[in-house]
């Protein structure tokens, strides 16, 4: 996919705010034919990801995020997960979603909140606009839990949203506080996020709530594994994202997770979620890194060959297949895939095998 052709003109975007305007991922803008471009290897973008837009961007201050309050630059210049998000009238986006649905179907639409006083009413307004234009298209809300309460979650469901995504990102209370909460001069609380995650789980049902989880913020593999098991037990989906530093943020100089680490985490997560790997099958060294995997050869070979472990984690379409594949969400064109927006083929699996260096932790 080329991002260069995206029409993103900060000067023209000033003053155009939600709910009348929304940002749309560059890949989704191509999918809706709002901009021209080409996807790599004929991979399409299944989910139309929308993002609220305000003149002050986000009033939270997460240390890794391009929209953070104290990041330098005007709001309209700021990027979200390192890619451009062109701005369009919400009514035009709704119309284009309906057209694409009639032409070839739309896997899903997702409305992402930022942290802003208008974020909640505008989530409702934008979701309503999309749902009225294309009522059969599944709708997710990627929420900022701090803007919600239980009553508001009910209203979100009533306007047609069937899946709630929660940007948890940091996986321990301390890390959360340091990157999103008090330690970062931000508004978010670990306890309140979990209160909303569990309220959403009760209201929306099993596997209809997901937590976005970032690999590379400073957590250990042990922290991640603990959370994967706990979320599985609560029938809440765990969706991995790979930290990718953004210029001008507090974490701009922080390193990304090494690729071999990410691949091992992806594999073991898949073994836990889909192959019943027990907690005691993974051992850790003093630094909390995966040091030992005790799993049957057939299980491991099947998980690798299936390829799903290394694909983007995302909400499903009407058939239950992952559709939110976010091409280039956590890596640049030309860089190795962090997560694959399509099922990896044999050549890809050979690359993944080398990246993963599994022989250091597992022997058949
Ligand atoms: S609340 Fe979300 S959009 Fe706002 S700074 Fe944090 S991660 Fe970024
Ligand atoms: S996985 Fe995609 S569709 Fe689902 S909540 Fe997250 S961003 Fe939205």
Residue 282 included in any domain? no
Residue 211 included in any domain? yes
Pairing of strands 290-293, 282-284: antiparallel
Domain count of the fold of the chain: 1
DSSP 212-234: EEEETSS--HHHHHHHHHHHHHT
Q: pLDDT 10s digit of each residue in the chain, 364 long? A: 222 233 345 557 778 999 999 999 988 999 999 988 777 676 778 899 999 999 988 999 999 999 998 776 655 555 554 457 899 999 999 999 999 999 999 999 999 999 999 999 999 999 999 999 999 999 999 999 999 999 999 999 999 999 999 999 999 999 999 999 999 999 999 999 999 999 999 999 999 999 999 999 999 999 999 999 999 999 999 999 999 999 999 999 999 999 999 999 999 999 999 999 999 999 999 999 999 999 999 999 999 999 999 999 999 999 999 999 998 778 877 888 999 999 999 999 999 999 999 999 998 8
Q: Closest Cα to residue 81, out of 139, 35, 23?
A: 23
- Domain that residue 26 falls in: 10-256
Q: Give ligand 2 pocket residues (Cβ under 6 A).
A: 47, 49, 108, 110, 140, 142, 163, 165, 210, 212, 239, 314-315, 324
Residue 288 included in any domain? no
d(CA 246, CA 83) in angstroms, rounded, equals 10
d(CA 325, CA 226) in angstroms, rounded, equals 25
Quick one: CA dihedral 327, 331, 334, 336, positive or negative?
Answer: negative
Span from the CA of 139 to the centroid of ligand 2 (angstroms): 9
Residue 277 included in any domain? no
Residue 261 included in any domain? no
Mutate to test the pocket of ligand 2, among 80, 164, 315 (most ligand atoms within 8 A of CB): 315
Residue 147 included in any domain? yes
Mutate to test the pocket of ligand 1, among 167, 177, 192, 329 (most ligand atoms within 8 A of CB): 167
Residue 266 included in any domain? no
Span from the CA of 274 to the centroid of ligand 1 (angstroms): 30
Domain harbouring 179, CATH code: 3.20.20.70
- By alpha-carbon position, which residue is closest to atom 5 of ligand 2? 165
Question: pTM score, two decimals?
Answer: 0.93
Residue 51 included in any domain? yes
């Amino acid at each position: 996919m080329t991002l260069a052709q995206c029409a993103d003109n900060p000067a023209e975007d000033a003053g155009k705010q939600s709910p009348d305007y929304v940002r749309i991922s560059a890949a989704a803008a191509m999918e809706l034919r709002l901009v021209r471009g080409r996807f790599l290897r004929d991979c399409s973008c299944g989910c139309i990801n929308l993002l609220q837009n305000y003149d002050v961007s986000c009033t939270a201050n997460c240390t890794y995020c391009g929209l953070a309050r104290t990041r330098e630059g005007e709001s309209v210049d700021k990027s979200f997960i390192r890619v451009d998000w062109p701005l369009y009238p919400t009514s035009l986006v709704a119309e284009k979603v309906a057209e694409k649905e009639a032409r070839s179907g739309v896997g899903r639409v997702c409305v992402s909140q930022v942290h802003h006083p208008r974020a909640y009413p505008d989530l409702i307004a934008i979701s309503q606009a999309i749902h009225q234009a294309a009522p059969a298209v599944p709708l997710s809300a990627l929420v900022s839990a701090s803007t919600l309460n239980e009553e508001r979650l009910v209203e979100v469901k009533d306007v047609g949203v069937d899946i709630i995504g929660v940007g948890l990102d940091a996986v321990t209370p301390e890390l959360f506080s340091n990157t999103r909460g008090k330690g970062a001069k931000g508004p978010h609380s670990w306890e309140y996020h979990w209160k909303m995650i569990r309220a959403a789980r009760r209201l929306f049902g099993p596997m209809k709530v997901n937590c976005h989880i970032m690999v590379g913020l400073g957590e250990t593999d042990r922290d991640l594994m603990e959370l994967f098991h706990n979320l599985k037990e609560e029938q809440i989906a765990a969706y991995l994202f790979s930290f990718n530093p953004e210029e001008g943020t507090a974490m701009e100089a922080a390193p990304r997770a090494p690729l071999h680490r990410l691949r091992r985490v992806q594999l073991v997560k898949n073994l836990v979620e889909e192959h019943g790997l027990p907690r005691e099958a993974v051992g850790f060294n003093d630094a909390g890194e995966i040091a030992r995997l005790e799993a049957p050869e057939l299980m491991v070979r099947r998980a690798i060959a299936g390829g799903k472990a290394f694909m983007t984690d995302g909400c499903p379409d009407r058939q239950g297949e992952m559709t939110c594949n976010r091409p280039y969400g956590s890596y640049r064109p030309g860089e190795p895939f962090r997560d694959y927006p399509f099922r990896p083929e044999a050549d890809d699996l050979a690359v993944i095998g080398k990246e993963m260096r599994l022989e250091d932790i597992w022997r058949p």
